[in-house]
């Protein structure tokens, strides 16, 4: 039995639904019911849009984490710029209190005051959240370990932590 990735069944169902709606819209147009054909075509387009958006959410993260001089730098790329509303985050090393690695399942639960973010439970949690100790930056996807960087209390940075995925190693590197 082949194991599917989380959400692949939902993607297949959305693509099938869009295909069926487009086929029925074509049939309705051929039968002379233009209004029904337009409604069905609009529904097919909406379902296709949701499928494309879901595919974008499920893509692996595009980011680079580097330590240069006395700073930890996290540079976001692709859709991660949209989810985090930042292209880059720099944290002075002296402000970092701890660094831990978690499985994303250990971080999904809890209540957060939402700010600017994207959340699909069990799939993605990205953006800025108000946490128990202040503002938190998340860029977490299902299926990859997460680096949790906690900042020291009283640091001049207004954020309490940053969470981002560990990128799987590239083959041949």
For the stretch 56-76, pLDDT in tens is 766 777 788 888 889 888 888
pLDDT given for residue 168 in this prediction: 46
pLDDT at site 89: 85
The pLDDT value given to residue 169: 43
pTM listed for this prediction: 0.60
Query: Residue 158: its pLDDT value, please?
Result: 57
The segments of the chain whose pLDDT lies below 70 read 1-8, 10, 57-58, 104-118, 131-133, 155-173
- Burial of 20 by CB count in 10 Å (0-12 exposed, 13-18 middle, 19+ buried)? middle
- Taking phi over 0 as left and psi of -120 to 50 as alpha, with beta for the rest, 139 belongs to beta
CA distance 60 to 84: 14
């Amino acid at each position: 039995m082949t194991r599917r990735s989380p959400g692949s069944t939902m993607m297949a169902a959305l693509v099938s639904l869009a295909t069926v709606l487009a086929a029925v819209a074509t049939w309705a147009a051929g039968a002379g019911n233009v209004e029904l054909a337009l409604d069905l075509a609009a529904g097919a387009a909406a379902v296709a849009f949701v499928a494309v958006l879901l595919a974008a959410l499920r893509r692996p993260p595009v980011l680079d984490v580097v330590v240069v001089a006395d700073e930890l730098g996290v540079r976001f790329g692709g859709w991660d710029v949209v989810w985090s509303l930042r292209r880059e985050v720099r944290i002075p090393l002296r402000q970092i209190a701890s660094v831990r690695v978690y499985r994303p399942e250990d971080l999904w639960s809890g209540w957060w005051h939402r700010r600017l973010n994207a959340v699909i439970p069990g799939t993605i949690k990205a953006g800025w959240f108000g946490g128990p100790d202040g503002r938190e930056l998340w860029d977490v996807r299902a299926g990859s370990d997460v680096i949790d960087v906690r900042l020291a209390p009283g640091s001049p940075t207004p954020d309490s932590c940053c969470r981002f995925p560990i990128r799987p190693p590239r083959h041949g590197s």
